């Protein structure tokens, strides 16, 4: 029945190509994908969601297009393994354009507008009524992604949970109306899921538009510069002053990335008491992050010299996904009783 060689459960994850991945992506989702990859228990697809990126980049198609290969390099850099993962380009899969046409009729306008993620994004982007229809509609498109792959497991952070809820509703409605056809996906909340990492300025979450990111591809020099300019505690002027750990970006990053938790607890106590300088902590954080990123930089450089191979990974993964998603589309049309010519 399945085109996949194995009976492994299918996992789908995806990112919008609109720039490079940063260490917030690493902490929030890429590290978890590496863990899932290491189990060998799943058939994993990692999709470059260029169609979804276009829903708010219609005037900047080049930014989306030029991010595709960058994203591939970031994936390979962090250690996603082309022997274990199928890399997929969303826009090369016709079924993902066609399924939404059917699903759209199963979702009401009011339900779409109630989606908390979309509501939030509309607000932060300042769209109001001028929101592109494609943007409001992207939860339906995402439901098409998930169901086309027959993904039963979708690792999500908190901000994506409503997307999965919406997908599950569409699946339930479809299966009730047309018979058991689509796989009901489960959200997989990463066990060690860390809260959204703040930017180096401490002003909000790490985000390209705020210019407060540490990128996976950053050089050691860039990394050092960014760590050294991190927001700490403005009241902590002299080394002997007591300092605040809460809201201190350096400590938030140490919490997320520094493995020696016992040492970290001691540092926090000492900082609160006074006598521990910011520079000592920043050096420690720089070393810790550089240890993580240095092998990633190396892998990135390796693959950047072999772009033909990188493009081949994407082509081959997409070909596999094409068979799989076309098959789902055929089953959907058959279940609905669409006229076949
Ligand atoms: N909405 C996801 C994000 O912004 C990207 C995405 C598109 C996705 N299609 C998907 C995630 C399917 C999981 C499954 O990060």
Give the Å distance between the CA of 258 and the centre of ligand 1: 28
User: pLDDT at position 75, please?
Assistant: 98
pLDDT tens digits along 71-91: 999 999 999 999 999 999 999
pLDDT band at 127 (very low <50, low <70, confident <90, very high): confident
pLDDT tens digits along 200-219: 999 888 888 888 999 999 99
Q: Which residue has the higher pLDDT, 71 or 130?
A: 71
Percent of the chain at pLDDT exceeding 90 = 84
Index of the ligand 1 atom closest to the CA of residue 13: 13
Tokens of 286: 């720089």
Q: Which residues contact 322 (CB under 8 A, 6 or more apart)?
A: 92, 93, 94, 95
Average pLDDT (141-151) is 98
Ligand 1 binding pocket includes 278 (Cβ within 6 Å): no
Average pLDDT (37-57) is 97
Ligand 1 binding pocket includes 90 (Cβ within 6 Å): no
Average pLDDT (169-175) is 98
Could you give the CA distance from residue 227 to residue 15 in angstroms, rounded to a whole number? 26
Give the Å distance between the CA of 240 and the centre of ligand 1: 47
Pick the CATH number of 9-196+307-336 from 3.40.50.620, 3.40.830.10, 3.30.360.10, 3.30.450.40: 3.40.50.620
Average pLDDT (152-171) is 92
pLDDT at 195 over 70: no
Give the Å distance between the CA of 287 and the centre of ligand 1: 32
pLDDT tens digits along 286-336: 999 999 999 999 999 999 999 999 999 999 999 999 999 999 999 999 999
pTM metric for this prediction: 0.94
Mean per-residue pLDDT of the chain: 94
Q: Which residue has the higher pLDDT, 199 or 207?
A: 199
- The residue whose CA has the least distance to atom 9 of ligand 1 is 142
Q: At what angle do helices 249-257 and 278-304 cross, to 10 degrees?
A: 50
Ligand 1 binding pocket includes 288 (Cβ within 6 Å): no
pLDDT tens digits along 225-272: 999 999 999 999 999 999 999 999 999 999 999 999 999 999 999 999
Rg of the chain on CA atoms, in Å: 22
Own/partner contacts of 179-186, CB < 8 Å, gap of 24 or more, are: 179/335, 181/331, 181/332, 181/335, 182/147, 182/150, 182/328, 182/332, 183/147, 183/150, 183/151, 183/152, 184/152, 185/146, 185/147, 185/151, 185/152, 185/153, 185/154, 186/152, 186/153, 186/154
User: pLDDT at position 209, please?
Assistant: 80
Give the Å distance between the CA of 49 and the centre of ligand 1: 7
Ligand 1 binding pocket includes 145 (Cβ within 6 Å): yes
8 A C-beta contact, residue 132 and residue 55 = yes
User: pLDDT at position 38, please?
Assistant: 97
Domain boundaries, the chain: 9-196+307-336, 220-301
Tokens of 223: 């990394």
Index of the ligand 1 atom closest to the CA of residue 52: 7
Could you give the CA distance from residue 30 to residue 124 in angstroms, rounded to a whole number? 25
Q: How many residues does the chain have?
A: 341
User: pLDDT at position 147, please?
Assistant: 98
pLDDT band at 6 (very low <50, low <70, confident <90, very high): low
Query: Check: CATH 1.10.240.10 for 220-301?
Result: yes
Instruction: Give the angle subtended at the CA of 229 by the CAs of 228 and 232, to the nearest 5°.
Output: 95
pLDDT band at 194 (very low <50, low <70, confident <90, very high): low
Give the Å distance between the CA of 156 and the centre of ligand 1: 9
């Amino acid at each position: 029945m399945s085109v996949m060689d194995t009976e492994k459960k299918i996992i789908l994850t995806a990112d919008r190509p609109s720039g490079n991945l940063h260490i917030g992506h690493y902490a929030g989702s890429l590290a978890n994908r590496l863990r899932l990859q290491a189990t060998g228990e799943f058939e994993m697809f990692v999709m470059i969601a260029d169609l979804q990126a276009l829903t708010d980049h219609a005037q900047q198609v080049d930014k989306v297009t030029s991010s595709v290969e960058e994203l591939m390099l970031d994936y390979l850099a962090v250690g996603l393994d082309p022997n274990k993962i199928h890399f997929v380009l969303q826009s090369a899969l016709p079924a993902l354009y066609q399924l939404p046409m059917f699903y759209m009729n199963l979702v009401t306008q009011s339900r779409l507008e109630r989606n908390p993620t979309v509501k939030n994004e509309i607000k932060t982007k300042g769209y109001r009524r001028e929101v592109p229809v494609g943007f409001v509609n992207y939860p339906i498109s995402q439901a098409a992604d998930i169901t086309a792959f027959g993904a039963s497991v979708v690792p999500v952070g908190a901000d994506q949970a409503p997307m999965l809820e919406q997908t599950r509703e569409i699946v339930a409605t479809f299966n009730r109306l047309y018979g058991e056809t689509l796989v009901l996906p489960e959200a997989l909340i990463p066990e060690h899921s860390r809260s959204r990492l703040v930017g180096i300025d401490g002003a909000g979450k790490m985000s390209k538009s705020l210019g407060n990111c540490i990128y996976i591809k950053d050089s050691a020099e860039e990394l050092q510069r960014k760590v050294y300019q991190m927001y700490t505690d403005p009241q902590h002027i002299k080394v002997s002053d007591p300092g605040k750990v809460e809201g201190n970006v350096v400590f938030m990053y140490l919490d997320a990335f520094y493995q020696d938790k016992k040492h970290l607890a001691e540092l926090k106590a000492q900082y609160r008491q006074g006598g521990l300088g910011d520079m000592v902590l920043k050096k420690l954080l720089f070393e810790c992050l550089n240890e993580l990123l240095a092998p990633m930089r190396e892998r990135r450089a390796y693959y950047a010299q072999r772009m033909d191979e990188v493009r081949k990974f994407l082509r081959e993964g997409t070909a596999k996904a094409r068979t799989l998603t076309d098959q789902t589309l055929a089953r959907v049309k058959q279940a609905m009783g669409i006229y076949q010519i």
